[in-house]
Structures are given as C-alpha cells and as structure tokens.
Amino acid sequence: MTRQHSVPTLAVGLGCQRGCPASLLLELIEQALQDHGLAIEAITALASIDLKHSEPGLLALAEHLGLPLVFFSAAELSGFDAQLSHRSAIAFAHTGCYGVAESSALALLQRLGGRHGELLITRHKNQLATFALAGDVPNRR
C-alpha cells in the first residue's frame, strides 16, 4: 500500500536585520512563493534564530499569518551547514551560523517531523531580510 502524503509540511526560515518591518518580510515571502507557484496558506510554520526572539517584525508577521514562530540556537542551525546553498561569512560573524533562513527552514522541518525534506526555495533576500522554504514532499516528482 502506498502512503499518500497529500499535504506537505512547508517550513519557512527567515533572517532579518534589526527593525525589519513585518510588511517587508511578508512581501519577500509572497514574491518567492508566487515565483514558485505556491500559496502562502500552504505554509505550516515560521522559524528564525533565537537572537531574533523579540524582533517585532517577525512577531507581527507570525501573528498576522496565524502561524507558529519557532526559534533555534546557532548551534542547532550549524547542524545544517552542509545543506546550505550559500554559506555567508557575514551571517556567521553576526550569528554564529552560516545561513539563518535556510538553516532555520531545515531545522523547523526536522522538528515538525519531516523525514524526506529538502530546500524547495533556496535563499531569497531583499534589503533587510532573507527567506527560504523547506518541505517534506516524499511523493514529489
């Protein structure tokens, strides 16, 4: 019997500079999802690095979207270095990990139980933020 996985888990990872407004984060997410034919309603949860646990834009975005927002330590995110599409020395200098958005998306996917996950959308950025999407889509062709 083939197990159907009709609703994939889609985990968003976000990095941002201090003071980045929720509107700019939302614009980045919507544009990246639109470019890949995905709807924002398909997102399961949001994640970032624990250094951003009180960042107003991230908190407001999660509230606006009605999604959980999970934070990970730099040590937890470092475990995903080998899967990153881009390793940023600048990000490492500021956070202790080489990529906040992609690592956060992968860490969240793993926490949500994703076993066959991968980055579906690699790092996208605007002037103040980065976005990545990881998904558990084993039946994807």
Check residue 139 and give its pLDDT.
54
Per-domain boundaries in the chain: 9-136
pTM above 0.85, yes or no: yes
pLDDT in tens, 29-87: 999 999 999 999 999 999 999 999 999 999 999 999 999 999 999 999 999 999 999 89
CB-count exposure of residue 94 (10 Å: 0-12, 13-18, 19+): middle
Does 9-136 carry CATH code 3.30.420.180?
yes
Q: Which helix (H) or strand (E) holds 25?
A: helix 22-35
Q: Percent of the chain having pLDDT more than 90?
A: 75
On average, the pLDDT of the chain sits at: 90
- What's the average model confidence in pLDDT over 84-113? 91
Question: What is the token pair recorded at 3?
Answer: 């197990």
Check residue 2 and give its pLDDT.
42
